[in-house]
Amino acid sequence: MAECIRSTPLLLLPGMMCDAGLWRAQEAELGGELPLLHGDITGHDDIAAIARGVLAGAPERFALAGLSMGGIVALEMWRQAPERIARLALLDTNFRADTPQRRAVRDRQMAQARRGELGAILRDELKPNYLASCHRDNRALLDEVLYMGMGLGAEVFVRQSLALRDRPDSTATLPTITCPTLVLCGEEDELCPPSLHGEMAQRIPAAQLLVIPDCGHLATMEQPGAVNAALKKWLN
């Protein structure tokens, strides 16, 4: 890894109802090569406020990688402080605003979470959509995803759901991204499909697109080796 990159911290942003455990394999692989930091996206119900909070605790200049909601926050961070972001990686991310249908689903899920049904939401609705078909019987992986979500709790679920429901569309932001950018997704990502990432990569001038086989929405956990290799190439 190039010496100049080793001195640039890498800030990692998790997806909705995930914590730093989402990046455990990347931390193990990259932690000896450069400083790694984890951003907190749990404290606000507004994407702009989340981005401001992460930026307030971040180094003056850094590489930035976000998965899913983390990628949405990363796009907002670019809008707020592009001069501070040396490189950008958007993994399994939707750059568009929520559709009316998706907003209605979030409203229903938030009502369920407030009634104490977070476990049912995570188990019956989110987890089946997260993973590629070859991973849906992986009990250890499924339990790890459930453990992260339950550890964060219903209040975080509601805050993050509100932030995602009301987020702005980032289409106009994409052509403004001038740093080296990795756009990566699982081939079987049903929440943020490859076609969406192809469009995103086309709109970002310095983007490279990578679609990983046998992989769903949680690329960092489902195919850590492929993700680690892609991140190393992007950092170099």
Torsion, Cα of 93, 19, 85, 87 (10° steps): -60
Mean pLDDT of 31-42: 96
Split at pLDDT 50, 70, 90, the class of 145 is very high
Split at pLDDT 50, 70, 90, the class of 4 is very low
Is the pLDDT score of 178 beyond 70? yes
Split at pLDDT 50, 70, 90, the class of 24 is very high
Is the pLDDT score of 180 beyond 80? yes
Does the pTM surpass 0.75? The reply is yes
Instruction: Name 66's bridge partners.
Output: 13, 90
Give the least confident one: 121-130, 190-199, 225-234. 121-130
Percent of the chain topping pLDDT 70: 96
At 184-227, the pLDDT tens digits run 999 999 999 999 999 999 999 989 999 999 999 999 999 999 99
Residue 2: predicted pLDDT:
41
**CATH for 3-98+161-235 (1.10.760.10, 3.40.50.1820, 3.40.50.300, 3.30.390.10):** 3.40.50.1820
Residue 127: predicted pLDDT:
67
Average pLDDT of the chain, as a whole number:
95
Split at pLDDT 50, 70, 90, the class of 111 is very high
Split at pLDDT 50, 70, 90, the class of 126 is low
Residue 8: predicted pLDDT:
93
Measured distance CA(178)–CA(153) in Å, rounded: 37
17 neighbors 149 (Cβ within 8 angstroms): yes
Is the pLDDT score of 141 beyond 70? yes
Burial 84-113 (b: 16+ CB within 10 A, else e): bbbbbbbbbbbbbbbeeeeeeebeebbebb
Residue 1: predicted pLDDT:
41
Per-domain residue ranges for the chain? 3-98+161-235
Measured distance CA(168)–CA(154) in Å, rounded: 24
Measured distance CA(136)–CA(139) in Å, rounded: 8
Split at pLDDT 50, 70, 90, the class of 107 is very high
Residue 128: predicted pLDDT:
66
Closest CA to 22 of 46, 36, 38: 38
